[in-house]
Amino acid sequence: MFFFSGISSSKPSDPEISLLSLNRAQARLHLNHFEGALNDSLDVLKENPHDIKALYRSVKAHYGLENYDEASVQLKKLLTLEPDNKDGKRELNAIETRIKERRNGLYDFNEMIKEAKSSSNPRLNNASFVGPVQITEVSYTEKMFMKRSLALSCKIARV
């Protein structure tokens, strides 16, 4: 609430507006309010396109909104400005993995199971597959394998 009143009572040219917007973006990221965090970060980037914190928070917001391609673009800007940024390098790896998942539908199910067991967060860190799906006839052996896989998936979902 204080962020809102501080930002609304300040003039747009006030240097503290950027700081308040960045802090509000961080608070919104913690609350998974990614769209608001993105808007706050982009407001700061309009005034200062090289602000590292604003770039990083816009990356996290895009990632949370599953805009992985745009997150990658923003992150590459950040890494151009700060090539040794450890958080940025870690995020780039995660973003590239999400882009591959989304395009290819290939997932590391063992890692997903491990993450599901170790986390109280019901949202796994994976992309939704949006690529083309091809429907074909399958053999009896493939059908039996798929039934067993489905049964295993149901067991995993109950973990």
Which pLDDT score, from 0 to 100, does residue 17 have? 83
Which pLDDT score, from 0 to 100, does residue 10 have? 53
Which pLDDT score, from 0 to 100, does residue 142 have? 65
Q: What domains are there in the chain, each with its CATH number?
A: 2-157 (1.25.40.10)
Q: What is the mean pLDDT of each run of 10 residues along the chain (159 residues)?
A: 52 72 95 96 94 97 96 97 95 92 84 81 71 70 62 49
Which pLDDT score, from 0 to 100, does residue 118 have? 84
Which pLDDT score, from 0 to 100, does residue 123 have? 66
**Cβ–Cβ under 8 Å, residues 62 and 38:** yes
Phi-psi region of 69 (alpha: psi -120 to 50; beta: other; left: phi over 0): alpha
Cα–Cα separations (whole angstroms), residue 45 to 18, 84, 97, 121, 122 = 9, 21, 26, 31, 32
